[in-house]
Chains A and B, each alone.
Chain A
C-alpha cells in the first residue's frame, strides 16, 4: 500500500501503479489534456504508461484551460 498526494490531497493506493493507471483511477477522461508534475518535475507524456508513482510522491494534474467558449480549441 502506498500513500501519495494528488493535487494536494492524500490518495491511498493498493500498490504502486503507473501514471496511466493513476489517471484512470482518477477518472481523467482525456489524459492528453493534462500535464503532470511529480515532486516538482514535469513528466513526459511518452512515459505515462511506464512511469511508476511511488509512496510519498506528490502528483499535480495541470489541466489545459482555454476560455470556456464554444470555440473550444
Chain B
C-alpha cells in the first residue's frame, strides 16, 4: 500500500513509533475489524479504530440511539436520538477518517447470522451489554478460529480478555451464562460513563496490537479494574480442560441464542 502525503501526515504519530512504522500502519490500514454493539464500549472502540485508520470497520447493532445512551456512548450526539446506532456511528467514523470503509449491520447478532458475518473479519470486538451475545461471540469465534476481545463493565468495574485460537476463552472463565433469576436487581446496575471509555480504549489498543503484532496481548490473562480504588489487576487463567467449547470434550458445537431477561428502569 502506498500512503499519500496526507495519509503519512495523518498517521505520522503511529509511523513515528519504532514498533509500528509505515509497515505497522499498513497492517492497520489493511485490517478488518467487526465491532459487535455500538454502545458504551463500541463507541470508544469505533472512534479510536477509525482514527487509527483501520481499513474496514464493521458495526452490528439493531438499536436506535436513546437519550439515556448519551451519558457514555460518546460516538452518538444529541441530534442522533432515535437514529439507528450503526448509522450514527458510521457518520462519525466517516467524519473522523474518510479512509475507513464502514460496513453496517442494523440487526441483532444471532446464532443464525454470526458465522456469516464474522467470516469477513480479522478480529472481532465484543462491545455488547448482555450475556447471551457475549457467549455467542465467544462460541462463534472459538468455533471459527477467530480472535476477539471480550469486554464487560458494571457499576465502577471493568474486565477484558483477548482470545486467540488456543488461548483461554470466555467460557474457560465463565462456564455458561448466569441463570436468568440471578441477574442483579435494578438498583445494583448502572455504570459510570467514563468506565466504558476506560475499557473500550483498552480493547481498541488490543486490536491495534493484534493487527500490528506489537507487544503482548491480554491472552490467558483477565484484566480487571475498579475505578473506585483505581486498582488494576491481571489474573492469569490458563485454558480449561473442561471448557464446554474449547476443552477436551466440548459440548458446545453449534451456536445457540440464550434467553435474555430485561429490567425496566424505574423513574
Chain A residues within 8 Å of B, Cβ to Cβ:
7-8, 30, 32-33, 35, 37, 40, 42, 44-45, 60, 62-73
Could you pull out 17 A-B pairs where Cβ atoms are within 8 angstroms?
A: A44-B242, A45-B175, A62-B222, A64-B131, A64-B152, A66-B130, A66-B153, A67-B128, A67-B129, A67-B130, A68-B196, A71-B263, A72-B183, A72-B186, A72-B262, A73-B131, A73-B263
Between A8, A37, A65, the greatest number of chain B beta carbons within 10 A of the residue's beta carbon is seen for A65
Contact present for B261 and A73 (CB under 8 Å): yes
Verify if B39 is at the interface (C-beta below 8 Å from A).
Answer: yes
Contact present for B183 and A65 (CB under 8 Å): no
Closest Cβ of chain B to A68, distance in Å, is: 3
Contact size range, B: 35 or more
Question: A interface, by DSSP: helix, strand, loop or mixed?
Answer: loop
Verify if B155 is at the interface (C-beta below 8 Å from A).
Answer: yes
Given pairs A64-B131, A67-B37, A69-B189, 8 additional interface contacts (CB within 8 A): A32-B179, A44-B242, A62-B159, A62-B222, A65-B153, A68-B190, A71-B260, A72-B262
Closest Cβ of chain A to B123, distance in Å, is: 20
Complex formed: what's the CA distance from A37 to B161 in Å? 16
Contact present for B191 and A8 (CB under 8 Å): no
